[in-house]
Structure 1
């Protein structure tokens, strides 16, 4: 069902001389500038009782603004009763711990059975929020924390903070191949792969991408890492680690094939052979609440498959000592 929006305000004198779309963005910051521009173009904005549909038209100040808009629901997706592991929820946001194998948004090859379909069942009114409130995504086989906005104002502010890298922190745990000696930062642009259209790649024509990482634990021929995203490009951690020649264990797309060390225990050999997803988990999320302004942090326990892999790697390392490092 479409949502009716009614807004009104007086233009302050200090905003006089600015464009109409800029003024409305200042007056109503809970709505994105692109949405406001659409309302102007669609004759939904009145200034002193007269419809104004030119975004760049300038105002003097002290005009009366009235917006009578309709927000149409997004494309009709089916609400499906899919269980969500909800870590936190209030009137404005919810935070979930996504399992492996669950796609976030419908797309080619995944028409339904996604987080979005589950959100529509859990919270039907979220249909009025663009992308059903999804602010950021996790790959299908990446586990961990995601925040979802339940209202348009909450989504607008979360997206703005995410884009500005302001009070929006995501930390991941991963296990990569090879022994890394120290942490660091990867600052390499990421774009679409030249020949593999479903893959991403480090390329000078890509968008800026920055990943920070530190060594959490070293094994004979693998490393457990903690990583923090400064940007949020598609497959960013997976691409950056592959670029460093330390692809994530189990990453079928970015060269994370099984690489047991010499004299690997049977348990480790089997575990690596059967680990069929990237060993990557969104373990911590910190945000500024988009409505209250409160700083909030959540942690998600390491999933069973990564815990078991870690235990087997520790046992193998303890058995062989440092001689094979």
Structure 2
């Protein structure tokens, strides 16, 4: 069944020189490039009040964009009875606490068994919402909070709020090395030049901003609290690796085990056995897309993260005399 949508937005100055289809894809990442191109070619997109049917039309920044389109069910994903830890739900949104080892969206190598398949089982009406209402993603092995929209209107408003940086996402991580204090990383991120599954700081990439502060010092590791202003793929992992402080367990970005000097066999084994990036989405705050009410959720740290912090804390206490 088709549903009508209207999307309105303003082209960012940072999108100067981008094609119309690329611009819309950045502003509304929950719609596929092929669908956006079809909208443009069918005269469903206007720029400053004029219908534009050229996907390659260049943007100058500041233009008013309006999309009036019909949404058909995009893909027929299967509904699967996958347990979801739902921490909040109403008629318009739901919030889940995602475990490790769970991919958010079907893709190459993971055709099913994802959060999306579980959402379709829990709420079959999500088949009519693009990407089953998923607004933002977490990496497979990153745990924590995600918001899902149950209607197209809610999804459109949440995606817009995300683009305007009005949704607060706070994470906790354990990084390798001693970090003296907090700060901000403002470095663009793009696809890695040679490793197709990796991202990297790249001057031609998309703008990316990560704020971080130190929550606890260990001997050769640091527990961090981080907030995202943007939501690029692998953003925290890439930015911390850029600072030469990759996350514990993140082999993809250089987080190989680095035990401190004279570490106990217990700590050495724990670091070697920690087989995912030590990253958890612990807090989510947003204005409800329909009521405007400010809502906030917190997810407790998973057990493996807690255990790692405890053994690093124990190691610091055992060697506190070494620091003097």
| Residue 270 of structure 1: how far off its partner (Å) | 1.1
Matching of residue 156 in structure 1 with residue 152 in structure 2: no
Aligned to 1:281: 280
Separation of aligned partners in 2, 1:160 and 1:290? 10
Separation of aligned partners in 1, 2:221 and 2:208? 24
Determine if contact 2:250/2:276 at 8 Å carries over to the other structure. Answer: yes
- Structure 1 residues 164 and 267: CA distance shift in structure 2, 3 A: same
Q: Work out the number of aligned pairs and report it.
A: 280
Aligned to 1:147: 147
Aligned to 1:190: 189
Aligned to 2:133: 133
Q: Secondary structure at the match of 2:175?
A: strand
Separation of aligned partners in 2, 1:268 and 1:296? 39
Separation of aligned partners in 2, 1:148 and 1:256? 31
Q: Secondary structure at the match of 2:145?
A: strand
Aligned to 2:228: 229
- Listed as ranges, the matches of 1:30-179 within 5 Å are 55=51, 71-166=71-166, 168-179=167-178
Determine if contact 1:98/1:143 at 8 Å carries over to the other structure. Answer: yes
Separation of aligned partners in 2, 1:248 and 1:37? 38
Separation of aligned partners in 1, 2:230 and 2:204? 16
Determine if contact 2:40/2:52 at 8 Å carries over to the other structure. Answer: no
- Structure 1 residues 244 and 70: CA distance shift in structure 2, 3 A: closer
Q: 1:22-67 CA deviation, whole Å, 9 max, x = no partner? A: xxxxxxxxxx9x99997797599xxxxxxxxx8369xxxxxxxxxx
Aligned to 1:61: none
Q: Secondary structure at the match of 2:163?
A: helix
Separation of aligned partners in 2, 1:269 and 1:69? 56
TM-score (ref. length: structure 1): 0.81
Separation of aligned partners in 1, 2:43 and 2:190? 38
Determine if contact 2:169/2:227 at 8 Å carries over to the other structure. Answer: yes
Determine if contact 1:220/1:322 at 8 Å carries over to the other structure. Answer: no
Aligned to 2:59: none
- Structure 1 residues 267 and 161: CA distance shift in structure 2, 3 A: same
Separation of aligned partners in 2, 1:203 and 1:235? 13
User: Aligned Cα RMSD in Å?
Assistant: 2.5
| Residue 85 of structure 1: how far off its partner (Å) | 0.2
Separation of aligned partners in 1, 2:204 and 2:298? 35
- Structure 1 residues 6 and 209: CA distance shift in structure 2, 3 A: closer
TM-score (ref. length: structure 2): 0.81
Q: Secondary structure at the match of 1:240?
A: helix
Determine if contact 2:5/2:152 at 8 Å carries over to the other structure. Answer: no
- Structure 1 residues 318 and 170: CA distance shift in structure 2, 3 A: same
Matching of residue 308 in structure 1 with residue 307 in structure 2: yes
| Residue 266 of structure 1: how far off its partner (Å) | 2.0
| Residue 74 of structure 1: how far off its partner (Å) | 2.0
Higher alpha-carbon Rg? 1
Aligned to 1:220: 219
| Residue 6 of structure 1: how far off its partner (Å) | 10
Separation of aligned partners in 2, 1:126 and 1:119? 7
